Amino acid sequence: MAHAEAYQDPGTPQEQSRRQFMAQATIALGGVIGISLAIPLVVSLVPSADASNDAWSGLTPAEVDMLKKATANTPVKVTFDVHETNGYFGAVDSEQFVWAIRASDEEMMKARPDLFQGPNKMPYPVVNMGFTIFSPLCPHLGCRYAYIPAQKKFLCPCHGSVYSVLGVHEAGPALRGLDPLPLRDYQGKVQVSWILYQANTPAHVVIQVG
């Protein structure tokens, strides 16, 4: 270790005041470097604005045929392409799916009254073109649930939430039933809107559309 001989001498008053200035200037300059470096570095982590995806995704005729195979007690998995921006790969079509069940407003209103009235009322129609489509994400914590044909139930593999074919929460830790997504016939084209809802809340809180 150094002997630090110089530090034994407090120095003249001028030296002391000079040192005080140097200490403050060192801290100030160091702070300026730190802040002017920290700003661009932190800013670079902000997700870029043009990374958002299309709000509506179209179904091909084959996919519409698949949708139409759904019956009142047998849901079908409908796949479609979501047009999204995948970082430096740019715009890509990534395959996505939803579950579709044939249903009427009366049936749904009976099975899932909370979607039609009260604080959890959906801002869009739950039944469209005679179908209800469900987001494939379990409302508990976002895993993809599976359909078990033998029991006619949806079962989530992660924590065991169970839902009826109409999306009624029947068992497990989830706080709400399956999330219906908007479906529409827009200028002759069937379209689905992909909406991400917050997990593990009783209410539908939108995180992201598209």
Partner 1 sequence: MLTWLDQRTGVVTATKDFLTEDVPGGASYWYAFGSATLFAMILQIATGIFLCFYYAPSTATAWESTKYIIEKVPAGHFVLSLHYWGASAMIALVAMHLLQVLLWGAYKKPRELQWIVGVFLFIVTLVLGLTGYLLPWDLNALLASTVAIRIAGNAPVLGPMVLHLLQDGDGITTLTINRFFGVHVWLMPAALVALVGAHLAIFRWNGPAGPPIDEAPKLKPGRFWPDQMFMDTVLSFGIFVLIVALSTFSPVPLDDKADPNNSVFVPYPAWYFMALYALVDIVGSLPSWLVQTASLFATIIGPTLLIVLLIVLPFVDRNPSRRLTRRPWVLGLTALIMVAAIGLSWYGQNNVVTGQLAHNLIGPGAAAVSTSTAPSTPVTTTAGSGGASSSGGSGGTAAAPAAAGAGAAVYGANCAGCHGATGQGQPGVFPPLAGNPVVTGDAKTVIHIVSSGLSGSVTVKGATYNGQMPAWKGTLTNQQIADVVTYIRSQWGNTASAVTAADVAAVK
Binding residues (CB under 8 A) for partner 1: these are 1-7, 9, 19, 22-23, 25-26, 29-30, 32-33, 36-37, 39-41, 43-46, 48, 50, 87-89
Nearer to partner 1, 4 or 207 (CB): 4
Structure tokens at 42: 């932190």
Place of tokens 């802040």: 35
Nearest Cα to Cα of residue 207 among 139, 154, 106:
139
Structure tokens at 63: 């996919």
**Minimum distance from residue 15 beta carbon to partner 1 (Å):** 9
Nearer to partner 1, 5 or 106 (CB): 5
Strands 131-134 and 146-148: unpaired
**Distances in Å between the alpha carbon of 11 and those of 8, 19, 24, 137?**
9, 10, 18, 72
**Minimum distance from residue 94 beta carbon to partner 1 (Å):** 17
**Angle at Cα 73 formed by Cα 71 and Cα 75, nearest 5°?**
65
CA distance linking residue 154 with residue 157, whole number of Å:
10
Nearer to partner 1, 33 or 168 (CB): 33
**Minimum distance from residue 83 beta carbon to partner 1 (Å):** 18
**Minimum distance from residue 77 beta carbon to partner 1 (Å):** 31
Nearer to partner 1, 40 or 119 (CB): 40
**Minimum distance from residue 196 beta carbon to partner 1 (Å):** 22
**Distances in Å between the alpha carbon of 134 and those of 8, 103, 127, 139, 147?**
77, 12, 11, 11, 12
**Minimum distance from residue 38 beta carbon to partner 1 (Å):** 9
Contacts 24+ apart (CB under 8 A), 183-187: 183/128, 183/129, 183/131, 183/133, 184/56, 184/128, 184/129, 185/128, 185/129, 186/56
Nearer to partner 1, 15 or 105 (CB): 15
Nearer to partner 1, 44 or 117 (CB): 44
